[in-house]
Structure 1
Amino acid sequence: MAPMRIGGLASGMDIDQLVNDLMKAERIPLDKLYQKKQIFEWQRDAYREINKKLADFDQYLFDNFMLSSNFYKKTATSSNEAAVSVKALSSSYDSTNTITVSQLAMAATGVSGEVGNASSATKLSEKGLAAETKITIVALQANGTYKEEEITFSPDDTIADVVKKLNQSSLNINAIFDDSSKKMGISTRATGTLDTIDVDKAEVYVKSATGDDIFATIFGFGTGNDQNGNSGVTSLANGGQNAKFTLNGLEMERQSNTFTINGIEYTVKAVTSTPVTVTSSTDVDGMIAKIEEFVNKYNELIGTLNDKIREKRYRDYPPLTDEQKKEMTEKQIELWEEKAKSGLLRGDSIISNGLSQMRRDLYSRVDGIGENVIDTLSEFGITTTSEISSGGKLVIDYDKLRKALESDPDKVVKTLTQNGAITKDSATGQVTSDTRGIVQRLRDTIKGIITNIEKKAGKPTYTENQYSIGLQLRDVENQISDFQRRLQDIESRYWRQFTAMEQAIQRANQQSMFLMGQFGGGM
């Protein structure tokens, strides 16, 4: 049960205000604990923001450089894009080729006879199918093999159902029915043919039917030869043909109109009467743009990191208490907290050591590429600016970079993107070789920085017990809880003292009134 509080009825004093004023002084250490907690939280958040920027840069490096094909750009041009379009893959090499197209690849096709008095909604029973039938259909696939599937048709199926079952089968064929002409068309989804002998093979045909072969009896498809040259099967599609062309004097065939030879993807679109010239070369401009993007993103990152460890600390601007915020405008609070948050990572060893390692990563030699070759950034025109205040930002000598890419692009690519490892002397532990490319080195260093920051500042999924600032926060929170209990005891003590004073004054007043009454009565 809470003790009775008497608020100045006898003394006439504002006891509530007196206790509040006394407690303000008592709460000063508590305010400092809250300020300490706020600083830890700001510092934690500042570290996590740094980790986000590091993780973003690491992801950028992975997406753009870890696969050399994402960086090593090739370009290919065709003298006649309307007939032959080309695309250079990373495996292509500088070359000039000529191609003449004599035949385009085509899919096998077939058209049924006219189905009289029918539409897509006509049921097979109306066309004479009396019982369920199972038909095995064989079709040529894109990989050059034949595939078969058994499809069941019932008298209640409509012609539209037949089309749907064919299209949804695993045979990779297309079927349509035209209500106007009352004919069905079937084609393979893949172009080309496997015919190598003088037999007119069907690329899609009926192998067998357990019941009525509706494709012969209802739809009127003609007969042809199966894949083995046997005659008498119902032929649903034939006439597929390969693309035929002459490349650099060599006659070739491909099942598709799109094919890759020596790292160049060709798409033939039309038969040609004159040779088409195809040129493949290194996309130097594209690679320069990629390197320029890398330099800009690296400079942006280390600029942010350097700003954080150099940021001025304003110790005269501690975090505001709730009482102080009540007396300030939102703009004043914003400006104050901007200074209060400044410099929380000033001189931080994790970040400064990480920056130093990143600079070493950039300028150390990449082993395993060869002798007297391009194996450092500076050798292809990337160096640090001469301004000390820039903190190691990179600059590009574009003439030197272009010359390196034109003379030996493979070595530039390896210097940046090569996968490798560190080798150490077993006795001394000294590094004897580092075959990691610069991008891999940077990523390894960044991951190390991220791990060290997580040990100190954690990440959103961590509990306070899993990182050092979290432990400090937990300690401060415990101190706050202890101090709040202490303040409750102090406030109760003040109220007991003032209540006792009020009670004493009340007794004194009663005694005074009694004495005055006694004297007044004796006169």
Structure 2
Amino acid sequence: MAGMSVDGLASGLDTTSLINALIKAEGAPQTALQTRLSATEAAAAGYRSLNTKFDALRAAAETVLKPATWSSAKATSTAAGVAVALGVAPQPGSLTFSVESVAASHSVVSNGTAWTNTKDPAGFTELTVYQADNVTPAVDADGKPKVISVGGTGTLADAVSAINASNYGLSATAVQVAPGKYQLQVTATSSGAETKFGLGSAFTEITTGTDAALKVGTTASAYTVTSPTNTFEGLMPGATITVNKAEKGVPVTVNVASDPGAVADKVQALVDAANAALASIKVATNPTGGPAATLKGDSSLGRLAGQVLGAVSYGVGTHGSPAAAGLELARNGGSIEFDREKFLTALADDPALVQSLFVGTPTGPGPDKVADTADDGAPGAVQRLMDLAQLATDTTTGTLTTLAKSRDSQADDIQDSIDAWDRRLELRRATLTRQFTAMETALSSMQQQSNWLAGQLSSLPTSS
């Protein structure tokens, strides 16, 4: 009956519009709840957006705090065939050498072309692996000779499979050297002089296992550095050198130099992240802002912005202000500035001081061993930003996290109230519809009776 139209049945009134108007008037509290729900959901989204900004700040601060950041370096090589990769804490330095040889894997091939296809009989039921002299049997970890049983039906394919499955560091393949002509090639799975092996007189060496070799120096005191692979780790602290081409006697210089610019780049990324977080707070809390100002009047965000600025402006123990190394508040007081040139100059003059200003020194009593004195350790500006960002974004107890969750809970409660109003108004609409229908029905009945009476009256005889 709630959807039944009773418009003008007898009264000529637009009862549907009347019912809608009454429902709208009675549903004013629900409309207010819907407006409140939209604002609450927008606030939750606003807190999550800020949480993302502060998590980016945390990540940027974490990067700056890493020891590897402060030992940033860049490497160069004078030869295209020599590459240098830097690891943790590379040390600046230079090394000149020549690449005398590159690493190779030992390889042998069967004599002649004994097979026409891989299904031919291998011609042997087992293979003995020998040492480099091809005479002395090689032994496994248990001291037993390395012997490979072909198995299967004894075909060339079975021999290949057996060698590959032997766990003796060998890789086999049947090579078709001409149509209908196959030879068996066996190669060590690793490179270096120690990989040399033999398979008896039926096989011939085609590649000798060799180490990569670098010759350092040109005088009688020159020395050679070898590696079973083309990679040299630890030759220069924190650097890995890889060679791929031998050029005897051709000097190659590898240089590892500190890269203060890389440190400055990471600090700039931190400042950008901090300013992005501050700008987002300003937009979200602007009392005269438009739709983007979803968190107007939130004093906790104002305090959070102040803490970000304070982390940069406050001095660091006895080391002074971060401004001495180019990190300071902007003149407008609402953002952070980074003077790259000032930072690079300070880093060159006193890297330990700059690192103390940014990273800090271990907290607790200083050299005088007395707590709460001037020489006590203190967190640096970046460490303070890191701590602040972590407190704001912790997935369980973070300030922004809990604020967002609180708004989510409020939104759920408001939605429950809206749903209750939906049910209440639906019942009210049904009641009004029944009442207006009854009214129209009663009016119709009265009109019918009136019309009947009028007809009866008009049929009475009139006096002459």
Q: CA deviation at 1:445?
A: 1.2
CA 1:167–1:59: 2 relative to 1, 3 Å: farther
For residues 226-265 of structure 1, the aligned pairs below 5 Å read 239-241=209-211, 243-246=213-216, 251-255=223-227, 256-259=229-232, 260-263=234-237, 264-265=239-240
* Residue number in structure 2 paired with 1:387: 332
Q: How far apart in 1 are the matches of 2:374 and 2:449?
A: 95
Q: CA deviation at 1:376?
A: 5.1
**2:360 paired with 1:360:** no
Gaps of 5+ in 1: 140-144, 195-201, 206-214, 223-234, 314-338, 459-467
Q: CA deviation at 1:282?
A: 0.8
Q: How far apart in 1 are the matches of 2:294 and 2:68?
A: 42
Aligned partner letter, 1:122 = T
User: Could you tell me the TM-score, scaled by structure 1's length?
Assistant: 0.69
Q: How far apart in 2 are the matches of 1:85 and 1:514?
A: 111
Which of 113, 119, 123 is the matching residue for 1:123?
119
Secondary structure of 1:261's aligned partner: strand
Identity in percent: 24
Q: CA deviation at 1:453?
A: 1.9
Q: CA deviation at 1:254?
A: 2.5
Q: CA deviation at 1:309?
A: 2.0
Q: CA deviation at 1:104?
A: 2.3
Which of 388, 394, 404 is the matching residue for 2:346?
404
Aligned partner letter, 1:69 = A
CA 1:435–1:167: 2 relative to 1, 3 Å: farther
CA 1:221–1:18: 2 relative to 1, 3 Å: same
* Residue number in structure 2 paired with 1:211: none
* Residue number in structure 1 paired with 2:272: 296
For residues 71-82 of structure 1, the aligned pairs below 5 Å read 72-78=71-77, 80-81=78-79
Q: How far apart in 1 are the matches of 2:4 and 2:83?
A: 95
CA 1:190–1:20: 2 relative to 1, 3 Å: same
Q: How far apart in 1 are the matches of 2:158 and 2:442?
A: 103
For residues 504-519 of structure 1, the aligned pairs below 5 Å read 504-519=442-457
Number of equivalenced pairs: 434
**2:384 paired with 1:441:** yes
User: Are the aligned partners of 1:176 and 1:186 in contact in 2 as well (CA < 8 Å)?
Assistant: yes
* Residue number in structure 1 paired with 2:51: 51
Q: CA deviation at 1:236?
A: 9.8
Q: How far apart in 2 are the matches of 1:163 and 1:358?
A: 67
Gaps of 5+ in 2: 133-137, 366-370
User: Are the aligned partners of 1:107 and 1:187 in contact in 2 as well (CA < 8 Å)?
Assistant: no
Q: CA deviation at 1:432?
A: 9.6
Q: How far apart in 2 are the matches of 1:164 and 1:137?
A: 19
For residues 57-76 of structure 1, the aligned pairs below 5 Å read 57-62=57-62, 64-70=63-69, 72-76=71-75
For residues 78-227 of structure 1, the aligned pairs below 5 Å read 78=77, 80-81=78-79, 85-100=83-98, 103-119=100-116, 121-123=117-119, 125=121, 127-129=122-124, 133=126, 151-154=148-151, 156=153, 158-160=155-157, 162-163=159-160, 166-167=163-164, 170-180=167-177, 182-193=182-193, 203-205=196-198, 215-216=199-200, 220-221=202-203
User: Are the aligned partners of 1:192 and 1:242 in contact in 2 as well (CA < 8 Å)?
Assistant: yes
Q: Give a deviation string over 1:116-144, Cα, whole Å, max 9, x none.
A: 3425x33352x434x5x4867889xxxxx
CA 1:204–1:34: 2 relative to 1, 3 Å: same
Q: CA deviation at 1:392?
A: 2.1
User: Are the aligned partners of 1:67 and 1:417 in contact in 2 as well (CA < 8 Å)?
Assistant: no
Secondary structure of 1:77's aligned partner: strand
Q: How far apart in 1 are the matches of 2:387 and 2:55?
A: 12
Q: How far apart in 2 are the matches of 1:519 and 1:51?
A: 85
User: Are the aligned partners of 2:171 and 2:188 in contact in 1 as well (CA < 8 Å)?
Assistant: yes
User: Are the aligned partners of 1:83 and 1:271 in contact in 2 as well (CA < 8 Å)?
Assistant: no
For residues 229-378 of structure 1, the aligned pairs below 5 Å read 239-241=209-211, 243-246=213-216, 251-255=223-227, 256-259=229-232, 260-263=234-237, 264-268=239-243, 269-273=245-249, 276-310=252-286, 312-313=288-289, 339=290, 341-366=291-316, 377-378=322-323
* Residue number in structure 2 paired with 1:474: 412
Secondary structure of 1:112's aligned partner: strand
Q: CA deviation at 1:114?
A: 2.1
What is the Cα-based RMSD across aligned positions, in Å?
A: 4.1
Q: Give a deviation string over 1:9-44, Cα, whole Å, max 9, x none.
A: 232333223222332322333222211111111221
User: Are the aligned partners of 2:364 and 2:376 in contact in 1 as well (CA < 8 Å)?
Assistant: yes
CA 1:501–1:258: 2 relative to 1, 3 Å: closer
Q: How far apart in 1 are the matches of 2:166 and 2:360?
A: 46
CA 1:422–1:161: 2 relative to 1, 3 Å: farther
Q: How far apart in 2 are the matches of 1:52 and 1:150?
A: 62
User: Could you tell me the TM-score, scaled by structure 2's length?
Assistant: 0.77
Aligned partner letter, 1:42 = A
User: Are the aligned partners of 1:186 and 1:237 in contact in 2 as well (CA < 8 Å)?
Assistant: no
Secondary structure of 2:246's aligned partner: coil
Aligned partner letter, 1:251 = Y
State the structure with bigger RCO (CA 8 A, min sep 6), 1 or 2.
2
